[in-house]
């Protein structure tokens, strides 16, 4: 039976593991061996990983793959991708090769503004609050100069501070809505530090504002925090070619392919059940690059999906059309990313991934990540509207099934060859593996 424990975080790593295996595993020695086999033999590197988070007991590995042949704004890239899902890297690579011969991907950063908010309650006249805000606005800037001076020197900083009346949503609720430019940093710590200073200034200045009544002077700060919804931190990625250049080797004409592809996108634009799966495919590409480059994929996911529902219904992140004989496929997507700070300067593989991408600025990384999402979605829709998604996906999943049943190297080689022209399914692989083993025994 599970039991609680006091002071767990203060235990040594080995003591934490002892408690875990004694409490939860019937074979504690086996569990301990599994945990330890993922430790890095380089003690310094292992300590670095241990200190990323609290209560670390081991490392959790994900494959780091690469997708070559991406031509983005006439520059070649090989994109690093950290992901466990079969077929994602292969699909991205296939899409990159397809568009390499058709002009590649074109991208443009539309805007890079990020948002933070100070949420507070005020019991009083809004017009008096508005006058107070205008009175202290210069002080909000000056009181935060010690935080913003380095960012300002580099060309970033606070873009604007607004007072917003939200009392129609919640009684007495107001906010300072602040826009920031954080350049190559994702900027979460910078933004939050500024917001907390604004909150202090707001609260302290209210106490001395003579126009306020005693009750109005008691501004109640609820919280100060950045927003991961970044509709004004936007990047566009697109591909285009003549319709006839889309002809498939299996006999599907370019015109037929383009029309069916556009229909598939149109369905995702109006049908939320399809849009969620459609956008999950986009995020397969995006998340994999976000992870490989040490950025926060949870923040990106939250912001992207909020953006997909910005018009009141969840909808497709990608769009397609045929115009004057030209097929166009594009996305405009919000991405708040950084190439300095956080894991980007700590994790050795993140450093390698960024160097592989020519050490991009935050804007350049936005473009690369958007392209990965667009490529992934193109590959998925190309399969869905032609051969079906399972043919390619299950062929990539074949190795996972064989590993699950502990196939030998020779068995893998034989069955990989066998399934080149056979439909892959879980049952089919098990039957083929059993039959192979029975023949060997005979």
The Cα–Cα gap between 206 and 214 comes to 10
The Cα–Cα gap between 310 and 304 comes to 10
Is 280 tagged catalytic?
Answer: yes
Tell me the per-residue pLDDT of 148-203, one tens digit each, with 9 for 90 and over.
999 999 999 999 999 999 999 999 999 999 999 999 999 999 999 999 999 999 99
**Which residue among 137, 203, 280, 412 is the active-site one?**
280
What is the average pLDDT value for the chain, to the nearest integer?
93
* Nearest partner of 237 among 330, 339, 362, 114, judged by Cα: 330
Domain ranges of the chain: 8-50, 65-108+234-387, 114-226, 393-441
Helix (H) or strand (E) holding 353, with range, is helix 348-356
The Cα–Cα gap between 285 and 393 comes to 15
The Cα–Cα gap between 392 and 41 comes to 37
Helical residues (DSSP H) of 246-347, grouped into ranges: 254-270, 272-292, 297-308
Tell me the per-residue pLDDT of 120-143, one tens digit each, with 9 for 90 and over.
999 999 999 999 999 999 999 999
Edge-to-edge strand list for the sheet holding 106-112: 106-112, 233-242, 326-334, 318-323
> Is residue 386 classed exposed, middle or buried when 0-12, 13-18 and 19+ CB atoms within 10 A define those classes?
middle
- pLDDT of 429 reads 83
**Which residue among 49, 393, 395, 397 is the active-site one?**
393
Q: What percentage of the chain carries pLDDT values higher than 90? A: 83
Examine domains 65-108+234-387 and 114-226 and report if their fold is the same. Answer: no
Query: Highest-confidence range of 227-231, 407-411, 425-429, by mean pLDDT?
Result: 227-231
**Which residue among 13, 16, 18, 85 is the active-site one?**
85
- pLDDT of 398 reads 79
| Residues 235-247, mean pLDDT to the nearest whole number | 97
Report the topology of domain 114-226: Alpha-Beta Plaits (3.30.70)
- pLDDT of 40 reads 94
- Is pTM beyond 0.85 here? yes
The 8 Å CB, 24+ separation contacts for 304-307 are 304/279, 304/333, 304/334, 304/335, 305/279, 306/228, 306/229, 307/229, 307/231, 307/333, 307/334
Q: What percentage of the chain carries pLDDT values higher than 70? A: 96
Tell me the per-residue pLDDT of 95-118, one tens digit each, with 9 for 90 and over.
999 999 999 999 999 999 999 999
- pLDDT of 420 reads 75
Is 296 tagged catalytic?
Answer: yes
Which of 48-62, 127-141, 332-346, 383-397 is the least confident region? 383-397
200 vs 398 pLDDT, higher one: 200
Identify the CATH class of 65-108+234-387.
alpha beta
Q: How far is CA 285 from CA 74, 80, 272, 370, 380, in A?
A: 20, 10, 20, 8, 11
Residue 400 has pLDDT above 80, yes or no: no
Tell me the per-residue pLDDT of 298-326, one tens digit each, with 9 for 90 and over.
999 999 999 999 999 999 999 999 999 99
Q: How far is CA 112 from CA 117, 181, 333, 340, 391, in A?
A: 17, 7, 11, 16, 40
Question: Cβ(284)–Cβ(376) under 8 Å?
Answer: yes
Tell me the per-residue pLDDT of 350-391, one tens digit each, with 9 for 90 and over.
999 999 999 999 999 999 999 999 999 999 999 999 876 555
**Which residue among 296, 347, 395, 397 is the active-site one?**
296
**Looking up tokens 């992870």, which residue turns up?**
291
- pLDDT of 414 reads 85
The Cα–Cα gap between 394 and 401 comes to 10
């Amino acid at each position: 039976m599970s039991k609680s424990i006091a002071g767990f975080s203060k235990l040594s790593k080995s003591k934490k593991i002892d408690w875990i295996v004694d409490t939860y595993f019937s074979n504690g020695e086996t569990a301990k061996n599994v945990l330890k086999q993922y430790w890095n033999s380089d003690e310094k590197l292992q300590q670095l990983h241990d200190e990323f988070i609290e209560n670390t007991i081991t490392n959790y590995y994900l494959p780091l793959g690469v997708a070559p042949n991406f031509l983005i704004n006439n520059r070649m890239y090989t994109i690093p991708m950290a992901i466990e899902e079969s077929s994602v890297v292969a699909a991205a690579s296939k899409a990159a090769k397809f568009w390499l011969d058709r002009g590649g991907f074109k991208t443009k950063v539309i805007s890079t503004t990020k948002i933070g908010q100070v949420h507070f309650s005020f019991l009083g006249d809004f017009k008096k609050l508005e006058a107070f805000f205008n009175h202290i606005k210069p002080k909000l800037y000056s009181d935060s100069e010690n935080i913003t001076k380095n960012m300002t020197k580099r060309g970033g900083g606070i873009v604007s501070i607004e007072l917003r009346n939200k009392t129609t949503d919640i009684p007495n609720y107001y906010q300072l809505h602040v826009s920031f430019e954080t350049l190559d940093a994702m900027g979460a710590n910078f933004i939050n530090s500024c917001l907390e200073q604004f909150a202090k200034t707001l609260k302290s200045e209210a106490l001395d504002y003579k126009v306020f009544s005693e009750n109005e002077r008691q501004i109640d700060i609820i919280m100060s925090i950045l927003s991961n919804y970044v509709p004004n931190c936007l990047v566009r990625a697109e591909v285009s070619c003549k319709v006839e250049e889309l002809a498939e080797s299996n006999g599907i004409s370019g015109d037929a392919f383009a029309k069916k592809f556009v229909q598939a996108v149109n369905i995702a634009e109006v049908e939320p059940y399809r849009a969620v799966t459609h956008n999950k495919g986009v995020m397969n590409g995006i998340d994999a690059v976000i992870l490989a480059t040490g950025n926060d994929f949870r923040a990106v996911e939250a912001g992207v999906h909020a953006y997909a529902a910005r018009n009141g219904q969840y909808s497709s992140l990608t769009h397609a059309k045929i115009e004057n004989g030209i097929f166009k496929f594009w996305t405009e997507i919000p991405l708040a990313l950084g190439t300095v700070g956080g894991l980007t300067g700590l994790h050795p593989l993140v450093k390698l991934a960024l160097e592989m991408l020519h050490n991009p600025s935050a804007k350049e990384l936005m473009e690369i990540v958007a392209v990965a999402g667009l490529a992934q979605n193109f590959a998925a829709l190309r399969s869905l509207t032609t051969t079906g998604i399972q043919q390619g996906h299950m062929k990539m999943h074949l190795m996972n099934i064989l590993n699950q049943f502990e196939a030998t190297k020779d068995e893998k080689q034989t069955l990989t060859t066998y399934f080149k022209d056979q439909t892959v399914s879980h049952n089919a692989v098990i039957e083929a593996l059993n039959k192979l083993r029975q023949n060997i025994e005979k």
